[in-house]
Structure 1
Amino acid sequence: MVNLKTFSTKFFVLVGCVVKYGCIAHCTLEFIGDFVVCVGPSMEPTIESQNIILTEHITPRLRRIKKGDIVIAKSPNNPRQLICKRVVGLPGDRVRWGMIKSDVVPRGYVWLEGDNNSNSTDSRDYGPVPQGLIRGRALCKVWPPQDMRVFSNSLNDPSGR
């Protein structure tokens, strides 16, 4: 009987530790930041398909996104899909796209475009994106290691260097 009591005590301590650290990991990945695998050519040459980037979730929650930031957002066309784009317009900004078209970004929205203008589905296709769909802001590329670098938020340098 003593062995069963010792075993059950150790088992519940182990389960408690797994639950506790699982909760810490979940909260960290949900509210602090995480890693994202980017797929597709829309952000080339800054981010190539299958690159892994480190993102943080605090800036979007505080609505501190700036022009030039690279963000991860839910797609306005498919909420189950995440998109990686650069912020080129904030609320109140007039954004020019195409030869003669322009829009004013409404309050509570941002204008997102891929760095690869010729191969990107972005705000030029689906219009301004609600700020509530932004999940994270890209901090740096971590994979592949030879291309590791911190992203700047410069619109003048699409490579992010």
Structure 2
Amino acid sequence: MRLFTRNFRPLTRRVFGVIGVIIKYGCIAHCTFEYVADIVVCSGSSMEPTLFTNNVLLTEHISPRLQKIKRGDIIVAKSPTDPRQFVCKRVTGIAGDRVKNGFYSEIQIPPGHVWLEGDNRGNSTDSRSYGPVPAGLIRSRAILRVWPPQDACLLTKPEEE
């Protein structure tokens, strides 16, 4: 029995060492994807011609947390109508802006909200349907299209002076 126990200890140490490394890197990956950056696969036609179904985006989570979302940013947010889904839309208005909602009405965006619209206006369910979106629903801001490789590009605009 002692021989079995003596031979088993190095194997046990090695197994627990590997498990420890897996847990460490899993925690690092979780924190990175939750708080720093993320990979998102697009689906749907609401952002065409800018983004197409199966485009893969690199998104960052820091701007929404610091409330640094600007007009023109492409964001990923929880859907205001179905919290189990995410939407990818362009910010076309921020708090205090007045936006047209239909032919005759105009809405002022309340504090803490944004106005989201898809680039494909004819085939997009967006703020024109559900109104201003709370900024707290914004998860991330798209910064780079990484797939397909021939269409890879930055999705951020330089700061306007």
TM superposition score category, shorter chain reference? over 0.9
CA distance in 2, matches of 1:80, 1:119: 21
Q: 2:148 matched to 1:141?
A: no
Contact 2:142–2:156 (CA under 8 A) maintained in structure 1 = no
* RMSD (CA atoms): 1.0
Contact in 1 for aligned 2:112/2:134 (Cα 8 Å): yes
State how far apart, in whole Å, the 2-side matches of 1:126 and 1:3 are.
Answer: 66
Q: Does 1:44 align with 2:48?
A: yes
Point out where structure 1 has 5 or more consecutive residues left out of the alignment. Answer: 155-161
The alpha-carbon deviation at position 153 of structure 1 amounts to 3.8
| 1:100 and 2:101 matched | no
| Aligned residue in 2 for 1:19 | 23
Query: What CA distance in whole angstroms lies between the structure 2 residues aligned with 1:105 and 1:79?
Result: 21
Which residue of the other structure, out of 80, 83, 92, is the alignment partner of 2:84? 80
Structure 1 or 2, whichever has the larger Rg, is 2
Deviation at 1:3, TM superposition (A): 1.5
Q: Point out the more displaced range, 59-68 or 90-99.
A: 90-99
Alignment match, 1:59: 63
Percent of aligned positions that are identical: 56
Q: Is the 8 A contact 1:68 1:86 kept in 2?
A: yes
Structure 2 partner of 1:119? 123
One-letter identity of the residue aligned with 1:7 = L
Structure 1 residue ranges (4+ consecutive) displaced by more than 4 angstroms after TM superposition: none
Q: 1:129 aligns with which of 124, 130, 133?
A: 133
1:39 counterpart letter in structure 2? S
CA distance in 1, matches of 2:154, 2:105: 33
Alignment partner of 2:8: what SS? helix
Alignment gaps of 5+ in structure 2: none
SS of 2:81's equivalent in the other structure is coil
Q: Answer whether contact 1:70 1:153 (CA < 8 A) is retained.
A: no
Q: 1:3 aligns with which of 2, 7, 24?
A: 7
Q: How many residues align?
A: 154
Give the partner amino acid of 1:91: A
- Whether 2:75 is the aligned partner of 1:71: answer yes
